[in-house]
Structure 1
Amino acid sequence: MSLPSPNSAENLIGYQRRLRIAVFNRNFSTTGGGAERYSIALVEQLAAKHDIHVFAQEITHNWPGVTYHRVSMPMRKPRWINQLWFATCTWWLTGSGFDVVHSHENTWHGDVQTAHVLPVKYTLFSELHGWRQVSRWIKVATSPRLLAYLGLEHLRFMYRPNRKVVVTSESLRKIMESTYPGCGRMMSVITPGITLPPLLVTPLGKKNARSLLGLPQDGYCILFVANDYRKKGLNTLLKALSQCPAGFVLAVVGNLSELPIFMEQVKILGLQCRVFFLGTLQNVAPAYESADCLAHPTLEDTFGMAVLEAMSYGLPVIVSSSTYCGISGLLQHSANALIIDDPLDPTELQHALEKALTQPLLNAELSKGAIAFANCYQWTKLALQQEMLYLDVDATKNG
């Protein structure tokens, strides 16, 4: 059988050979961050059409038709040694027998490489010149950890004719192209997506969700969803909340490892009765159902998956500008979101929160715009883009 031309999208869509695909993600769990949920969603969408094998060190996921391979973890820390170990093990285990190898991790091998975060090289050297740049290179040269990360990243994004590099936003694509110019011709943008909730939230549904999570029934509930509280702006949000009326409360969903530091800030600001730390939730749906808006004053987010998830529930969202958050480059201020210029300014955030929650016409407009936006970013559609890349890789290898 002759294979379709890799340059023909129509041929690829019609060419439905079942592929054997290896997927790498060290933590394959729905309670992980956006990168983990992204890789899990694509696996779930494509498992019925292809033979998918997941290679991970931590697995709390079970899906029909998916084969799971637990990779050993002799040591969790230092993380850079574990990263090298994982890369080596997966290279050994997937050297043959797979049509496509898809890595969501910093590994040197993989036909499809999905970048979820800013490149290490960019974070180390962006906007450094002269002696500051020389000093940073000296620091790198004397650090096995940084050398390991940079070395893996260089190999990961090195040009190969049958390699695809996927980024999650246009803002990340621009950064990647400036940092690793050679990978530009391999690059595609596939944003995160969502599965739309079956029904819109009703007042009774919101009441039940708040009861389930132990949240107060009265007042406005602001939702914050993140595992890295610092990077995603909880510090600024707490300051903004302290300036909001007493009827405003905050529900925080995510990893509690930073809880002691932020509990101290809550105490200092006198917010003990207004902030609720819910921890990591296996099912985040009740949190979205209970809220009146989502606040995402992130300092660094290549996309912002929580923002899209909240919009699918019709929540007004307040989010940092595209300088800080990738999804904001797709949003329209006051039409489907409120976009703040400075995520470190609690007063700007406070004003946005009060506008979103206390102005009924604006609230309704933001909710309507959020649902319309989310409808365009469903996993069922985005998984087809991912499948196209798989088929293109396979066709190139066998053409």
Structure 2
Amino acid sequence: MSLPQTETVGLTAAAAVPRWRVAVFNRTFSATGGGAERYSIALVEELAARHEVHVFAQEIHHQWPGVTYHRVSAPLRKPRWVNQLWFAAATWWATRRGFDVVHSHENSWHGDVQTVHVMPVLYSLFRGRSGWRRLLRHIKVWTSPRLLTYLGLERARYAPQQGRQVVVTSDHIRAVMAESYPQCLPMLSVITPGIHLPASIPTATTRAAARTLLGLPQDSPCLLFVGNDYRKKGLPTLLQALARLAPEVVLAVVGNRAHIPEFEAEAGALGLQDRVFFLGSLQDVAPAYEAADCLVHPTLEDTFAMVVLEAMAHSLPVLVSGPRYCGIAGLLQSGINAILMDDPTDAAAMAQTLTQVLTDEGVRSALATNAREFATAYQWRELALQQEQLYHKVVLARRKRG
């Protein structure tokens, strides 16, 4: 894929321009990478109209006018912690001067703006553990170069620094960050993911076209699952729930192709081999939203869940895990603009709820209408302006430092 204005990391900075020069880095800069990647891409697209934006990544599958792409080398992809350390070092060297703002979506010690898309490693390792269980975790950390690297990068990432801004995607992850790294609380801001609102509401015609494009049956009620980590996002429970639904109901699965063989086997074991359609990663997920009757997102851990917001923007009824598991759920009203699951591992309760949604046109219509109304308040243009305000704080702090 040819990329516009592609450069090699390490080249001297271009001449200064009368707008901010912004460096952004993700290891993967592709719409198929996941929610974190789509978040980063959307902000870059919005901000590139007003600023000089440079993207640093190891994998780049994106084109946008005015964006300069820098491919970062990856001499050793595995183990992943070594690649993470390499990427942090390479991007530090490449952006140590010549930029007004350095914005990191990765676990690295540098970056004026740090956007947090996942639970802190510290929290995941030690939450709910005390006494000897906590001691065993400490021993595990001190004997693991991988964990020491991740924790070291994380501690440096959230260390107080003049002008540094830490962005989280939901109040849920804000509370987790405050518990894990209370020293960064004064730097914390919540900027949720957003959407580009589709120009029109899907119709029977667009739905039929989308199903033809994706190879889905035209007349079957269709559930949709979108996620790269099938297990963590709750696909096993959804398959169990599907087995309890009417035999004409089908499921479309969008996400990482690497997991398909394992879950094809799980679907086959439940007798669902003809009812589950694995579509792999889609560069454009919009046709999947247009084709479906309901998005099901029984995630076990999501700091926000962009797929839920995207589905709602397409007027799609949504069944999603509650606030304990999913960041966006804290913004939703169960039974009004979505249906929240207290226990996303309860296949029987999930099947019962899905039966009601699929068979009750009134419920489905109300959820669809209210979902789109909710989504209109979370559009990327407005959220990019919030991000721009943080950049302004960074630039002022840099000037004060001289």
TM range (shorter): over 0.9
Q: Which residue of 2 aligns with 1:128?
A: 129
Q: Which amino acid aligns with 1:257?
A: A
Partner of 1:261: 262
Q: Deviations over 1:141-199 (max 9, x none)?
A: 00000000000000000011210000000000000000000000000000000001121
Does residue 223 of structure 1 match 2:224? yes
**What is the deviation of 1:373?**
0.5
**Residue 295 (1) aligns with residue 304 (2):** no
What SS is found at the alignment partner of 2:109? coil
Shift of 1:301: 0.4
Deviation readout 1:35-88 (Å, 9 max, x if unpaired): 000000000001010000000000011100001100000011000000000000
Ranges of 4+ aligned residues in structure 1 off by more than 4 Å = none
- 2: distance between equivalents of 1:38 and 1:356? 29
SS of 2:219 mapped into structure 1:
coil
Equivalent residues in 2 for 1:339-378, closer than 5 Å: 339-378=340-379
| Residue correspondence of structure 1 range 29-44 to structure 2 within 5 A | 29-44=30-45
1:160 and 2:145 aligned: no
Instruction: Report deviation, 1:136.
Output: 0.6
Length-normalised TM-score, structure 1: 0.95
Distance 1:319 1:258 in 2: 21
CA deviation vs aligned residue, 1:211-235 (integer Å, no higher than 9, x gap): 1111000121000000000000000
Q: Aligned residue for 1:53?
A: 54
Matched, 1:85 2:89: no
Specify the alignment match of 2:146 in structure 1. 145
Corresponding residue for residue 7 of structure 1: none
CA–CA separation in structure 2 for the residues paired with 1:310 and 1:397: 40
Report the equivalent of 1:174: 175
CA distance in 2, matches of 1:282, 1:259: 17
Aligned pairs (5 A) from 1:275-286 = 275-286=276-287
* Equivalent-residue separation in structure 1 for 2:340 and 2:358 (angstroms): 15
Query: Displacement, 1:272?
Result: 1.2
Question: Aligned partner of 2:149: which letter?
Answer: A
Q: Give 1:93's aligned amino acid.
A: A
Deviations 1:266-314 (A, max 9, x none): 1111111111000111111111110001000000000011000000000
Task: Write the letter of the residue equivalent to 2:381.
Answer: T
Question: CA-to-partner distance for each residue in 1:84-114, whole Å, 9 max, x for gaps?
Answer: 0000011111110000000000000000000
Secondary structure, counterpart of 1:49 in structure 2: coil
CA distance in 2, matches of 1:260, 1:289: 26
- Counterpart of 1:105? 106
SS at match of 1:276: strand
Structural mapping, 1:323-338, within 5 Å: 323-338=324-339
Distance 2:68 2:210 in 1: 34
Measured in 2, the distance between the counterparts of 1:39 and 1:161 equals 24
2:186 aligns with 185
Letter in 2 for 1:46: L
Matched position secondary structure for 2:243:
helix
Instruction: Tell me the TM-score normalized by structure 2.
Output: 0.94
Matched to 1:283, the amino acid is: D
Structure 2 match to 1:307:
308
Shift, 1:332, TM fit = 0.2
Q: Aligned letter for 1:105?
A: E
1:13 aligns to what?
none
3-state SS, counterpart of residue 325 of structure 2: coil
Q: Which residue of 2 aligns with 1:9?
A: none
Partner of residue 5, structure 1: none
Aligned to 1:70: 71
Letter of the aligned partner of 1:183 in structure 2? Answer: C
Question: Unaligned stretches of 5+ in structure 2?
Answer: 1-16
Q: Secondary structure at the match of 2:258?
A: coil
Once residues 193 and 352 of structure 2 are traced to their aligned partners in structure 1, the CA distance between those partners, rounded to angstroms, is 29
Q: SS state of the match for residue 353, structure 1?
A: helix
Q: For the residues of structure 2 that align with 1:86 and 1:25, how far apart are their CA atoms?
A: 9
The CA RMSD over aligned residues, in Å, is 1.0
CA distance in 2, matches of 1:256, 1:189: 32
How far apart, CA to CA, are the structure 2 residues paired with 1:66 and 1:20? 11
Sequence identity (%): 61
Q: How far, CA to CA, are the matches of 1:267 and 1:261 in structure 2?
A: 10
Question: How much has 1:17 moved relative to structure 2?
Answer: 5.9
Code of the residue aligned with 2:348 in structure 1: it is: T
Aligned to 1:8: none
What is the CA–CA distance in structure 1 between the aligned matches of 2:316 and 2:355, rounded to whole Å?
Answer: 14
The size of the alignment, in residue pairs, is 384
